[in-house]
Amino acid sequence: MEGLDVIVSGGKALSAFPSIHGKIPGIRKRLRMFSTTLWLTALALESVLLLRAFLGNFLKHYRFFYLYLGCVFIRDMSLLPVYYLWPKFYPYAYWYSQFFHVAVGCGVVWEAYKLALSRYPGAARMARNVLSLIFIFSISRILVNVWNNPNWIPGRSFLEPERDLRIVQLTLLIGLVALFAYYAIPLGRNLKGIIYGFSIFIGTSVIQLTLRVYLGDSFEHLWEYLQPMAYLLVLVIWCITLWSYATVPEPEMEPNLEVDYESLVRATRKQLSSARTYLSRTIGTRLCIFFCF
Amino acid sequence: MLVASLLVLRRSARLRMDTQANWSEDALSLPPGEDALFLGLGSRIFAPEDYDFVARQTSRQFHRRFRAERTALALAWLDQVRGGVGGLIRAHLRAARGNPSLRPADEIKLGFEFLVFRLMIGLLYGAVWLRGPFAAARLVGSCVDLAEELKRMSVEGLPVAGSMAAEIMNGDSEAK
């Protein structure tokens, strides 16, 4: 299950609350049952989402999202027996498959960009430029980390590589959301739910992984249960917003669309400049000296 | 960051229904002489003549009341200008988002200018709220004059520093 990971320390897998592991077997059994319940609930919600989309015939509208969800579902199903029968191999199986999911997750961000901005070529052009810059900066940061930190290589440590890749996803998502808000792009219920849920999931993953890197095992014991519960919340949000297909709203008839872009920018800057000049004259100072450029 | 993203998404839906954008669309289409943002009204609100007249001719209590009401008027006017310019920018964004020849550099410049304008009006709003419209205008004027004086002094100081540096260099070369 996304987030229900097990600590790897020196190659050995540790369960939650190791200090009471041998002392109170009853508590350990109850915690294990709670983990299993969370896992099975997540599997159930994932299958409901996939089935609903299949029966409603709207899988094709959100291909990458459902591909991502399908991959997570298949992995969770296959890792369940590994977790209980071969716990030594679980961490490796989890972490190596996790990188594949991070890559597919980037596809979800791309799909959100494509669906929301397909009818707004101007905003799409802005998004391509801004997101490219964000991507270049984020990848540069990772390359610097790789250069400076010998532990960054997957295999030696899984936490930092996944955290850094999730940060790239999160910054791209935040950039995209900021653009949607800036240009007042209408999203529709489905797309909003995908973005809200994915943002919560990526955000909590970044927080978890960062705190785990800095605080160590003491934090992991708490987060081993908080993260799966956060993932369940995300699944509930997706179930509500993706219960039925809702089209992305059509753009309204834009005023001044026939005006070319140059004239539009010139007119807006002129109005802004005259507002600034009037303000200066009104206050009776040469305030524009500071703010004119 | 998550909470900010959620709030930003919610705001995008609210912006679509903002009726002030319609007002500013009219502003974009008005002939140059028309003042759709009521900017001309501001010079009357901030004019010191009324304040001086009231200060000379009336009691202190009346004067204080006049200042309070004129402050409220000034704040309302600043709100109106802020809202009007905000609507203007929103109308621009709605027109630009569908335009395939949008230039990101121009959009970023415009965004920055708008941000500076909002900062400017925010500072003015704070100054008017704290000191009233007339005192705020005097305060702002004093700050601008002080900045200009400092700039003049630093520029005038440069030739002196240059000639001193030249003397030092000449002295060094003669010593050698």
pLDDT tens digits, one per residue of A143-154 = 887 777 766 655
Q: Which residues pair with A272 in a beta bridge?
A: none
Compute, in degrees rounded to 10, the torsion defined by CA atoms A93, A94, A99, A103: 110
The whole-number pLDDT of residue A21 equals: 45
The answer to whether residue A250 scores a pLDDT higher than 60 is yes
pLDDT tens digits, one per residue of A274-288 = 887 777 776 655 444
The answer to whether residue A155 scores a pLDDT higher than 90 is no
- Length of chain B as a residue count: 176
Chain B residue nearest residue A278, CA to CA: B39
Looking at A12-26, A276-290, B45-59, B146-160, which range is the least confident one?
Answer: A12-26
Looking at A275-284, B82-91, B165-174, which range is the least confident one?
Answer: B165-174
Give me the total of CB pairs closer than 8 Å, taking one residue from chain A and one from chain B: 185
Output the pTM of the full model: 0.73
pLDDT tens digits, one per residue of A28-80 = 778 778 888 988 999 999 999 999 999 998 889 999 999 999 999 999 898 88
Q: Which residues pair with A7 in a beta bridge?
A: A14
Which residues of chain A make contact with B88, given a CB cutoff of 8 A? Answer: 268, 271-272, 275
**Residue A9: its H or E element:** strand A7-9
Which residues of chain B make contact with A285, given a CB cutoff of 8 A? Answer: 137, 140-141, 144
Chain A nearest CA to B175, separation (Å): 47
The whole-number pLDDT of residue B104 equals: 92
Considering only the beta carbons, identify the residue of B40, B98, B121 that sits closest to A257: B98
Considering only the beta carbons, identify the residue of A129, A251, A287 that sits closest to B144: A287
Residue B127 forms contact with A (CB below 8 Å): no
The whole-number pLDDT of residue B20 equals: 44
> Mean pLDDT across chain B, nearest whole number?
73
Considering only the beta carbons, identify the residue of A170, A251, A275 that sits closest to B37: A275
3-state secondary structure B26-68: HHHHCCCCCCCCCHHHHHHHCCHHHHHHHHHHCCHHHHHHHHH
Backbone angles phi, psi at A14, to 5 degrees: -110, 140
Across A216-235, average pLDDT: 82
Q: Which residues pair with A14 in a beta bridge?
A: A7
Considering only the beta carbons, identify the residue of A178, A187, A203 that sits closest to B2: A203
* Best residue in A200, A280, A282 for a mutation probing chain B (most B CBs within 10 Å): A282
Q: A119 and B37 in contact by Cβ < 8 A?
A: no
CA distance A11 to A9: 5
The whole-number pLDDT of residue A45 equals: 95
pLDDT tens digits, one per residue of B28-82 = 444 444 455 566 677 777 878 888 888 888 888 888 898 899 999 989 988 988 8
Which residues contact residue B16 at a Cβ distance below 8 angstroms, ignoring those fewer than 6 apart? Answer: A184, A186
Which residues of chain B make contact with A180, given a CB cutoff of 8 A? Answer: 8-9, 12
Which residues of chain B make contact with A256, given a CB cutoff of 8 A? Answer: 25, 28-29, 91, 95
Looking at A58-67, A158-167, A194-203, B142-151, which range is the least confident one?
Answer: B142-151
> Mean pLDDT across chain A, nearest whole number?
80
Q: A184 and B15 in contact by Cβ < 8 A?
A: yes
Looking at A19-23, B40-44, B103-107, which range is the least confident one?
Answer: A19-23
